[in-house]
Amino acid sequence: MTMADTIHGKLAAAFAPSDLAVTDDSARHAGHAGHRPEGETHFIVKIVSSAFVGLSRVERQRRVYAVLEQELKTSVHALNIRASAPGED
Q: What is the pLDDT of residue 26?
A: 81
Give the lowest-confidence range in 15-24, 34-43, 45-54. Answer: 34-43
Q: Is residue 51 part of a domain?
A: yes
Q: Is residue 66 part of a domain?
A: yes
3-state secondary structure of 81: strand
Q: Is residue 61 part of a domain?
A: yes
Average pLDDT over residues 32-41: 64
Instruction: Report the number of distinct structural domains present in the chain.
Output: 1
Q: What is the pLDDT of residue 31?
A: 63
| Domain extent at residue 27 | 3-84
3-state secondary structure of 19: strand
Predicted structure pTM score? 0.87
CATH of the domain at 14: 3.30.300.90
Q: Is residue 89 part of a domain?
A: no
Distance, CA of 54 to CA of 60 (rounded, Å) = 10
Q: How confident is the model at residue 25 (pLDDT cuts 50, 70, 90)?
A: confident
